[in-house]
Amino acid sequence: MALRPQIGIFGRRNAGKSSLINVLSGQEVAIVSDIPGTTTDPVRKIMEIHGLGPVVLIDTAGMDDEGLLGEKRVLRSREVIMQVNMAILLFTGNFLGKYEKSLIEDFRMDDVPFILLHNMSDKITLDPEIRKEIEREYKVDVLDFSCREPEAIGALIKIISNNLGPSPFSSLPMLEGLVRENDHVVLVCPVDSEAPEGRLILPQVQVIREILDRRAIAVVLQETQLESCFDRTYREQNPVLVVTDSQLFGKVESLIPGNQPLTGFSILLARSKGDFKTYMDETSAIDRLRDGDRVLLMESCSHHSTCEDIGRVKLPRMLRQYTGKNLEFDMIAGLDIPSRPFKDYSLVIQCGGCMITHRQLLARIREVKRAGVPVTNYGMAIAYTQGVYERAIKPFLST
């Protein structure tokens, strides 16, 4: 779901958000009711829209929801802003009030492309002067629309397509500038309790596929086979790159020649779709950690935790051992936000982000940076604690 363009539908209660979802999808996928507040939590629907392709439409709660529960619903809806590639803001009756203007500011703050949809035009059409005023002030497309007149759907899809922005797939290829045709790349892929039974983890699959797309040669092995592979296969010429699971950095470095380029799967992902420069600038914040400091670990997927879990178990242990400090750790998964404000943390460590889009990952990092908190990546933090950091980022310094 995360790799499809995500379009958020926002507006007041009973502005017609659920009806719009149904019209766009051609299905009754969202509950429509005259009762305000029918939609509570954000509802996601994967669908293929002619002219747009596969997308995820997100129906949010009304931004004017009231009471304590309503405030929580609004908060959940605002969290969606950081996740979407585009927003559609509905308003009715020629009225653009404080709720709509607040949302527009949120869209702008998070660099989210958006359009304004004056809904229920079958009841009240959009005043031309108001349209001009909105377009002049916000520099945004405005469409007069009615869910009861589906023939207008073509114009809406055209406007959505024009505003959708870059594809969520448009991140830098992981091996860009590193691997060429016929190059050998050795991939160290341990099989432990964290590996899905009968499968490789997604970053490993993505790297293998990119190697094949580049018509290069992937040599996939476990760490116990690495030394013999170099003795037998790479006596005269090293592979262009060795990529390892981050937790094996120290061991792998000891088994390969000192001049052999080395990095990790998580670092390749960080360079591909994270804020790589920020990561490189701020990984050294690990050295500034003090007793009692709190570190936030941000994963982008949810999975069953085990005793070998890298984010919940191994990385905290590595950081405590490296710093010699009594550190506190919090963990969030998926696209959740922490219960504490980011400013309460001395360091944030983001996973590679293989399960979310480039925009979603950058939006999470942007919130951390606004709080003035240093942020780095799982693989880079592990390399730092293992004394392999300079070597692990060296392949990227000349690309």
Contact 352, 377 (CB under 8 A): yes
Q: Which domains does the chain have, with CATH numbers?
A: 6-163 (3.40.50.300), 184-268 (3.40.50.11420), 275-385 (3.40.50.11410)
Q: What are phi and psi of 376, to 5 degrees?
A: -140, -170
Q: How far apart are CA 185 and CA 242, in angstroms?
A: 6
- Cβ neighbours around 290 below 10 Å, total: 10
For residue 310, the 8-state DSSP code is: I
Q: According to the model, what pLDDT value does residue 1 have?
A: 45
178: nearest Cα among 281, 257, 261, 249? 261
Amino acid (one-letter) located at 5:
P
In whole angstroms, give the CA distance from residue 42 to residue 367: 21
CA 64 to chain centroid, in Å, comes to: 28
pTM, rounded to two decimals: 0.74
Evaluate the CA torsion angle 275, 277, 282, 284 in order and state its sign: positive
DSSP 204-259: HHHHHHHHHHTT-EEEEE-GGGHHHHHHHH-SSS--SEEEE-GGGHHHHHHHS-TT
Tell me the pLDDT tens digit for each residue of 218-243: 999 999 999 999 999 998 899 999 99
Closest CA to 248 of 231, 262, 236, 234: 262
Contact 371, 309 (CB under 8 A): no
What is the 8-class DSSP label of residue 356? Answer: S
pLDDT at res. 304: 46
- Segments of the chain with pLDDT less than 70: 1-3, 27-41, 51, 64-71, 73-74, 165-171, 192-199, 302-308, 399
| Contact indicator for 265, 380 with CB cutoff of 8 Å | no
What is the DSSP code string of 292-304? Answer: T-EEEEE-SS---
Say if residues 299 and 333 touch (Cβ distance below 8 Å): yes
Decide if 207 contacts 174 (C-beta within 8 A): yes
Neighbours of 121 (CB within 10 A): 18
What pLDDT sits at residue 218?
Answer: 97
What is the pLDDT, as a whole number, of residue 42? 75
